[in-house]
Structure 1
Amino acid sequence: MVVLVNTRCRFVLLLLAAFSCFSLKLCLGEDSITFSTPIKDSDTLLSKSGVFRFGFFTPVNSTARLRYVGIWYDKIPVQTVVWVANKDTPVKDTSGVVSISEDGNLVVKDGRNRLLWSTNVTSTVASNTLVQLMDTGNLRLQDSRSNGETLWESFKHPYNTFLPGMSLGTNNRTRENLKLSSWRTYDDPSTGNYTAGLAPFAYPELLIWKNNAPIWRSGPWNGQHFMGLPDVDGFNLTNDYQGTASLSYSNDSFMYHLDPDGVMYQRRLSTSTRGLRIGANITSTACDAYGECGPFASCSSREVPPCNCVKGFVPRNQAEWNDGNWTKGCVRIVPLRCKSSNGGGRGKGDGFLKLQKMKVPVSAERSLANEQDCPKQCLENCSCTAYAYDHGIGCMLWSGSLVDMQSFLANGIDLYIRIAHSEKKHSYLAIVIGAAFVAAAFLLLACQKFKKRSAPESRRRPELMFSRMEEVTSENESPYIFKPNEFPLFEFQVLAKSTDYFSHMNKLGQGGFGPVYKGKLPEGQEIAVKRLSRASRQGLEELMNEVVVISKLQHRNLVRVLGCCIEGEERLLVYEYMPNKSLDAYIFDPSKQKILDWKTRFNIMEGISRGLLYLHRDSRLKIIHRDLKASNILLDDNLNPKISDFGLARVFEASEDEVAETRRVVGTYGYMSPEYAMEGYFSEKSDVFSLGVIFLEIISGRRNSHKEENNHNLLAYAWNLWNDGEAASLANPIFFDECFEKEIAKCVHIGLLCVQELANDRPNVSNVIWMLTTENANLPEAKQPAFIARREVSVAGSSDRSSQMVTINDASLTAVTGR
């Protein structure tokens, strides 16, 4: 009897539990709403496979505590919202309700029954509709009867996220244009300033607008990808060439996100971290900014300045162009002479200038001409200014101004710009005349140099200058003889004139030695002139040390010093000009970080290592740089690295010990090894430590002095990530790609090996290069780095002598009197 009662009690309890779960969506994880089952602020819907959740949320880090109704990933720890309903009308407390209204619409109301949002469709009665959350992230309002017609769906009303199965595009019949819209800020989902979608051009393009003005475009679709996005695959595009085009993709391992700053990212789902990693950055370089260079100008992110008028055109406003304002673009030098079909006009007609590997201008016009007839069709139309032919698209024509052209290195197609025939001839003659002029200039310069050599020695007195070497190098840090006639000497007046008398407009940067200016010698060679500042702690010793050291070295990863000048109080060094300036200008500047993708960063790390190996092992002299840092790595036209600034370098002879001690510690705080900063000992391993810091800065885009989580510096932060098995998470999201995750993690590991506390534990540079270039290298375990950036007090206090310390990463000289 007791057993029977207990059985009945259990049955009643199960019924009660089932009834409770029926009324609470969260209990059963149901995926739909009906008229009789609304959801309150504390309830949510969960899609059938548990991918997405729908309900009320407050944005992460928001202090307003406002409540929004939206859809987010359920299995990702960090809140990732993909759609918002009441984005501009939030609920101000937790009294909100989502329900099916009496007219069959899905609505959001607050506790006072005020309508805040509705699907606004014409339906039947409420009992005939339901709302269901799909595993795709699509929220559907459906007719609940047998036909199951979809009356409304969130995929037709996208917000800031482009999900698999969703479509963006234009519909000529309905006049719809489905676009993404950004949040206002990262913690405010109200409508922002940016939108993204397909532009209704003859050849559809993906565009991003700010307040309805274009700021970026993808280039036209060629049947496989957008021409300006060759590395972003997976899109599908349909186009009826009548104003209806639709863009979609089906890969459910990633999604696209338009952030509040107007940048579109590809976010990949990571199975290892159950989170989202930032993949491809759709807008990646300064040249991607729409119309950056104005009409008839081409942009190249690998040139400085990036904007250049195409041949046959000159800046519309030269003064503004020189100041870096390129938006007004360029104008034609010689007007077109349109040779019309009726025979009007005499002389030769217009021709075409070929630009290779280009992102073509905006607003191409559609043509059915084949490849052979495409240029003819352009010439026969007096308003046609350019043409291009792509096998995936066909013939493209342009009329009027050509806007938003970009030069690619590996991708792009040939663009033919219409110019006057006389201008083509003029361009050819200019090349011939220019070559003859340069040859004559070199001949004249050679004659001038011959005259200078025969001039009285009292004018220049180079022997006096170099005879002082033994006096100024008290520690004999340049223990070999330098012959003055082996190295060019420049007159101060020549260098002053080449830099427009050290004009601020020509200033390239500032270091511990002094300012650096861009100059141009009379023969046309571009140079960089480093001028000693009278306030600088460096002087004749450092200048002569650099002259002596670098004049003996030749390597593709070392910058060349072309000569020097010492006249009166003036001390100047002349370098080859590096148009892309220094590495720190790219890795630490948010506006330029996008220019360096991972492959470029890896090549830079390898190039720095090879230059350092030459200094340590392969040159005639063994040289410890002692001031290796990001600002002392210059980049050439192709972003190849060149080590510079040898004013603080220490030269060893073959018979000398590889470890030396100094009373004068020089270098830059944050890059100095602990044994050097605290003990005064330096060796090859001191440079290796600096190399490791540079590696970690290149990967992360952060300075070593930068404070990270838990108040750690960069080395400590990288060490913690590596110990947690998340080394690749150190990578700057701007360039991170899962394809390179393993290689990035390996480079973090190598960087940590280089910054180990004990010098003997660090690899030499040849081993670093081997580890970088060997695909399956078996790397040793790294030991805890030297976190010397946290020892400012102890370093200064460790010296038993008077000391002077500059603890700024950007300074090129730190002087500490060692033990």
Structure 2
Amino acid sequence: MALISFYLLFFLSKIVSATDTITQSQSLTENQTLVSKNENFQLGFFTLPQNSSNRYLGIWYNKIPVQTVVWLANREKPVTKEIPAVLMINKTQNNNDTLILHQNYSVLWSITPSRRARNMVLQLLDSGNLVLREKNDENEENYLWQSFDYPCDTLLPGMKLGKDLRTEFDRRVTAWKNEYDPSIGNLSWGMDVTNWPQQMQRVGSMKQYNRGSWNGIDYTGRPTIRPSPVFEFKYFADDEQVYFMFSLVNSSVKARMVLNQSSYKLLHLAWDEAAREWNVYGLLPRDFCDDYGACGPNGNCDVSKLPYACDCLRGFRPKSSRDWKAMNYQGGCLRDKPLNCESDGFIKYGKMKVPDTENCWYLNQSKNLEECRDTCLRNCSCMAYTNSDIRGEGNGCALWFGDLNDLRVQPNAGQDLYVRVPASELDTNNGDRMKIGFAVGGTITILSGLLLVLYFIFIRGRSATMKKCASVADHLKEEQEEDLELPLFDLSSIVSATDNFSINNKLGEGGFGPVYKGTLENGEEIAVKRLSRGSKQGVKEFKTEVALIAKLQHRNLVKLYGSCIQDQEKLLIYEYMPNKSLDLFIFDQTQRMLMDWSKRFHIICGIAKGLLYLHQDSRLIIIHRDLKTSNILLDSEMNPKISDFGLARILEVDQTSKTSRVVGTYGYMAPEYALDGNFSVKSDVYSFGILLLEIITGKKNKGNHRQKDGTNLIEYAWNFWTEGRPLELIDEYMIDYCNISEALRCIQIGLLCVQQNPHDRPTISFVVMMLGSEIQLPLPKEPALFVGKYSCQEYSSSCINDAPSVNELSISDLEAR
């Protein structure tokens, strides 16, 4: 929010005394304060003990004798020397009103309102919230800015901790560096917006304490379900925002939550008027088992068993017996026996804090516990399940895939967790085994019936084509039933929805076939991908796309509603994206003018998060292999969604695979894949780097597309970077309005992603970290400049004699749905 330049229009300061508001004609100097209406809080300048040379603008409790600061404006840039500082509402050179704190015309802190307003005032409320609003509008929904959106180390009643899912704005608490230095420390507390959001404390980027997810009553990591005598906790989540907040049981009590760097704990504090001091009502983390992952993956922590608090879950054994004997549990536990899928069952663990939900799939609230169990049992990758809402008889469903991290027993709270184990680990009288028997028997009966039907079709002499279609349908139906019960649409309903695949409803055409817009009978808009009969996407690619997308649940991945296989038609039914695809915006001379920097950066971060989900879903990783601008779809709010998974492949962790059939789109393909057929997560990272550079520059990177100097986009960007002219890469339509530091950072990240050696490229998790932080970035090495050249290169282990066919060069170059 730094103000780069402004013309200072200095108004004559009027005395601000015993008031809660300043107007555009007033200012606040170092000998003045604002006091809230009922005198609960005070805003002004102060110094810290042992550091009297630095002065800060902050808010503190007004009636408490011990000065207790709850918020600071200039925590990173204190007022120094003897020159006084002034807070005022001012006009910039663009005639915009801005709130600034300056010292001798040098800006120490500034904020820009969310929109223009003619007559603004700054007001300190009795809640401790400092708000910028229009003079005659006190509606909190219309605030132009508020300090509650930018917490420091303190959370006050009514403050939100969480994320706005529309804007990606994250409200997070960060500790002071120490008692005398309020600048940002390395301890933070915020909401991890996973499929089942959870509160997480971190030291730097490392998880320190997980308070858990909201289960309808409380957070699963809270030690007791008994109500607090001071605090009332609230959790809210919908499609637009996720947040935690608290209120007070007794509104006359003064209470707060503070993140303390020296103790690395979150303190729940309440003021004791009689003792004239702050009392600690709670602190987190509390004990050994609260430390994140204290017993490692698949290890269960029970503090009542200290000093031997860690045990492996049933069916698991220590990864290292030597380490466990030495009470070093970080390695966790491994399965003793492999799972068999069909004959597996579940063991119930009571009074549990649920595992870290990073690898959790959160289902709708209509499923009961039995339905949740059946869903998990049908998916061989599902490791555990529980109710997401434990009120009453319980409802909702949460499934875990991969290792179970950060488990602990909560003797006075917690909930039931059901962990998958092979049949040999179940008791002989266990009800799960009986249910498995019924399930297996039912499956055999169904399969027998299907075989009889197929045999009947065969002996009736049906054509080979019809048998093939029936086989496709049966395989797909099997996979859907085993995995996620993806709906099969009737062909007649799709024909009606698309007006018999009318040319007027056609959205685009790619290597696998056309895409049509449709409207179902209930009014819902859909996009229908119709596999053309001559397409090279056969049954394998079709099943891949259905199976993969059906399992993927992320806000930055396109949602698959279902499929249709009937009368030799193979159709995929997706959610409809009204803004179509990214390429239609950034490469169009008119549309790109609508793409300001905030939209482009939002899209960059969204694509990175979607790719992070694909690469770190569980033990397996998904390689997209065809990441490009036309496969990035945009919803009505310009949220990006990765689409087209027909070429995707599943790999094990750290695995590299090789193919003799190179498919994808040149210009986005990593050199090791295009020339040798080797693909890995770093291949997708390369494609992401190309995307990033295209978004910033507004220029395409194609094998046959050259810039004015004859170079392709990678060479073009690398030349400007090495010549010290990276600013000239930024799209001319947004250069005057973009965040220069963010844009330059993105250019550097893009060049890191397209480095010639795959091992030099960052992982997508590191990319997300670099985009969301101010950590120092490594310098990029020379990129791969092969694009469009079919020749042996120094990084190729073999020589390609024949260029791939046109269909293989771009088999999914669709205009977006």
Classify the TM-score, shorter chain.
Answer: 0.3 to 0.5
**How does the TM-score come out when normalised to structure 2?**
0.46
Which has the larger Rg?
1
Normalised to the residue count of structure 1, the TM-score between the two structures is: 0.46
